[in-house]
Structure 1
Amino acid sequence: MTVDITDIDTLIIGAGQAGIAMSEHLTRQDVPHLVLEKNRIAEAWRSVRWDSLVANGPAWHDRFPGMNFPNADADSFVPKDKVAEYFEAYVDKFHVPVRTGVEVHRVERNKGTSGFTVETSDGIFNAQRVVSATGPFQIPVIPAIAPKTPELYQIHSAKYRNPEQLPEGGVMVIGAGSSGVQIADELQRAGKEVYLSVGPHDRPPRSYRGRDFVWWLGVLGLWDAAANEPGKEHVTIAVSGAHGGKTIDFRELANQGLNLVGRTESFSNGVVRFNNDLAANIKAGDDNYLSLLARADAYIANNGLDLPEEPEAHTLLPDPECMTNPILEMNLAEKGITSIIWATGYATDYNWLKVDAFDENNQPKHHRGVSSEPGVYFLGLPWLSRRGSTFIWGVWHDAKYIADQIVIQRQYQQYRNEV
């Protein structure tokens, strides 16, 4: 039986922000390509986010350079559905060749000839190059310590939508990055008794002296930091655009009525135990916050900027009871906790990519997205080239670099010695 095979120069897997950015740059350089997406365009913004989520950065910043958010104030934080619509409009504007509803099952290097055989739900492709633009948010991770208690309603934050989906009773949110804090705050405001398990984190000011923190990270060169700091691989960033944008302050959240506890250590017989590290985690976050304020003040002084002073931003609230007398263990039933939301991050899944581009931990081996397997590229991963790599604008710049490398390789491949 004859199998139809479609030849393509470059195949991009994933039509989220990474895949769309990659396509734009390849289009500008006349590289024939196709984007395959198993779901819909920007699916993660549609179905792997809670209802009230807004972008973590202002509209003027969290976008691609080629198009503004329509009908949005530049300093506003765009709702998730509008972000998905933005990417759909971007696809139309730049004529991105996306084929949705196509799942990639296997990518394997060809033997005896160049390129890769790509098996999909819509047939087989022969591609000279493959760009994995599937991003870091692939498999929601719930740690093995999760209690095996049927009466507890447990979900990952990827499955959380709104307070109404939870049963009556208190809630424990584990993980205090941007997702965990925003979900815990929303549940507490909805009248739930909420316990938030807080681990190590950075917490930049939402704004300072009239400028959003994304502006400060830009002018201070922090977005372009080329590598993560040692020991901070698992430190999350607590920042939010909710309620018009507001600095996350754990002391303020405690005063608001959120019950803060340290990192979750174990569950046994209905009892949860916490590390005695809540105060240390919050104070380390404070140090991160204050250090950015200090750098911003120095930048203003050195550059003679006329920005309003904000001395109150340097004043921290007193340590709440949860820091001075921390809860180290708790009986879930006695506290009326009926739900646990695990805001504990994601793992990647590259089982479909059968190439020599991974280390012993099955993590991609690459430099700025150019993998150790010639012809395979990664895009949209944390710290791919810089701190900003997972952000909308950051992935656009990473895609430009990878597109340039693809063009260089195509030029070598097309060379013919006619001497």
Structure 2
Amino acid sequence: MAVEKVDTLVVGGGQAGIAMSEHLSTVGVPHLILERHRVAERWRSGRWDSLVANGPAWHDRFPGLEFSGFDAEEFVPKDKMAEYFVAYADMIGAPIRCGVEVKAVERLDRARGFRVVTSHGIIEADHVVAATGAFHNAVIPALVPPSAGVMQIHSSDYRNPGHLPEGAVLVVGSGSSGTQIADELVHAGRRVFLSVTPHGRPPRRYRERDYCWWLGVLGRWDAQTPPEGAAHVTIAVSGADGGKTIDFRRLARQGVALVGRVNGYHDGAVSFDGDLAANLARGDADYRAVLDEADAYVARNGLELPEDPDARRIEPEPACVSDPVRVLKLAEAGVTCILWATGYSSDFSWLKVDAFDREGRPKHQRGVSSEPGIYFLGLPWLARRGSSFIWGVWHDAKFLADHIATQRGYLAYRPPATRASDVA
């Protein structure tokens, strides 16, 4: 069978792969995108039914296409997000081949480029862009054994309250996923325990501007490194129900029982750290810091944005915080399910090249790998804070496309047959 050859192979047909395709086309680089499922598959099947984008429609999109049928301040449902990326790929004529899995990428022996083993044959490529992001495998800590007799499910597999067995639910993780799912469950009449871990808690809106707007004007999207100690701290923000600030005390008032970080399991009971109050205080401090910085920006620039004193009001301390549960007997509490909103790990095992450190993390500068010809796109903090977000990945893709085009220019250069110095 003949080996197919391409200049640049993009692995992944989600938002990163589509952004990469647009910029490669702009600079004239021939390329092919391989997607093992469908375009934007994670938006389709890797999220719960009621999920919406965490940013408003004016922000969470690519520059070249607005959302049809949504106001600028609305939060787009996940299915419409998938449709958006399909429409964008069609608009730019992205060369996507779906249903093809990349199994291995290895450098060619004594030749430029890479041998790519796929489920549909061999491809040779001069450049390979890993546009699969960083969130590949769901992480469920090995704390509660299967013998505990409760359903254990990751947030990526959750769909709706009816998807879970009758009874109470322990939700572990207080980022966007965990808090939104806990909110949905309690409104569906479930008894819910929410394990609150260290988190950032920004305002959804402040002084008539969305948080995404404040991140932009305050320069936070462009931060190149995370604040000290905050690299792996989750952010509790939501676009659900038209967008609202996540307030754990309000969740408690609505019936969610807040607990600290899960630290173990023994004889039918889950135990928690005594860090609940501290975690809430840390989130409050992050929240107030954003408000303070926003107020200073308004004053410094003389903006006429209305004051918002209600934003600084903190709900009273609920009893579950002042008298926290340290041990939860699952059967006694009626808990039939533990839902782990505990994030993902990366899996680049298919990239068999020298592009990773000892911990398996990609070695790169703004996505340009330490292995010449290999590129990464969609990683958190790839170039800045916004790199793993929709608009951020679009801008990072432009940088990588320009880099690939520049390298192609060097390799295509041929010196003149006769130089003026030779004639003289």
Q: Is TM more than 0.5 here?
A: yes
Q: After the TM superposition, which parts of structure 1 deviate over 3 Å for at least 4 consecutive aligned residues?
A: none
Aligned partners of 2:106 and 2:351 also within 8 Å: yes
What is the root-mean-square deviation of aligned Cα atoms in Å? Answer: 0.8
> Which residue of structure 1 aligns with residue 421 of structure 2?
none
Alignment of 1:94-133 (within 5 A): 94-133=92-131
Q: For each residue in 1:187-214, what CA deviation from the matched residue of structure 2 results, as whole angstroms up to 9, or x when unmatched?
A: 0000000000010000110000000000
1:180 CA displacement = 0.4
CA distance in 2, matches of 1:284, 1:302: 27
SS of the residue 1:183 aligns to: helix
* 1:276 maps onto 2:277 in alignment: no
Q: For each residue in 1:76-123, what CA deviation from the matched residue of structure 2 results, as whole angstroms up to 9, or x when unmatched?
A: 000000000000000110000000000001100011110000010111
1:170 CA displacement = 0.3
> Which residue of structure 1 aligns with residue 218 of structure 2?
220
> Which residue of structure 1 aligns with residue 370 of structure 2?
372
CA distance in 1, matches of 2:396, 2:68: 24
> Which residue of structure 2 aligns with residue 35 of structure 1?
33
CA distance in 2, matches of 1:150, 1:216: 45
SS of the residue 1:131 aligns to: strand
SS of the residue 2:349 aligns to: coil
CA distance in 2, matches of 1:149, 1:178: 29
Gaps of 5+ in 2: 419-424
Aligned partners of 2:58 and 2:72 also within 8 Å: yes
> Which residue of structure 2 aligns with residue 324 of structure 1?
322
SS of the residue 1:290 aligns to: helix
Q: What letter is aligned with 1:375?
A: G
1:150 CA displacement = 5.8
SS of the residue 2:147 aligns to: coil
CA distance in 2, matches of 1:149, 1:246: 39
Aligned residues: 417
Q: What letter is aligned with 1:278?
A: L
Q: For each residue in 1:131-180, what CA deviation from the matched residue of structure 2 results, as whole angstroms up to 9, or x when unmatched?
A: 00011221001011133226311110010000001111100000010000
CA distance in 1, matches of 2:14, 2:201: 27
TM normalised by structure 1 equals: 0.99
CA distance in 2, matches of 1:150, 1:34: 47
SS of the residue 2:331 aligns to: coil
CA distance in 2, matches of 1:61, 1:291: 23
> Which residue of structure 1 aligns with residue 404 of structure 2?
406
CA distance in 2, matches of 1:4, 1:153: 49
CA distance in 1, matches of 2:216, 2:54: 15
Aligned partners of 2:8 and 2:125 also within 8 Å: yes
CA distance in 1, matches of 2:283, 2:40: 32
Alignment of 1:6-405 (within 5 A): 6-149=4-147, 151-405=149-403
SS of the residue 1:76 aligns to: coil
Percent of aligned pairs with the same residue?
61
Q: What letter is aligned with 2:188?
A: A
Q: For each residue in 1:245-266, what CA deviation from the matched residue of structure 2 results, as whole angstroms up to 9, or x when unmatched?
A: 0000111111111000000001
Aligned partners of 1:147 and 1:268 also within 8 Å: no
TM normalised by structure 2 equals: 0.97
Aligned partners of 1:50 and 1:160 also within 8 Å: yes
Q: What letter is aligned with 1:417?
A: P
Aligned partners of 1:4 and 1:123 also within 8 Å: no
CA distance in 2, matches of 1:15, 1:137: 15
Aligned partners of 2:148 and 2:268 also within 8 Å: no
1:305 CA displacement = 0.6
CA distance in 2, matches of 1:42, 1:102: 14
SS of the residue 1:333 aligns to: helix
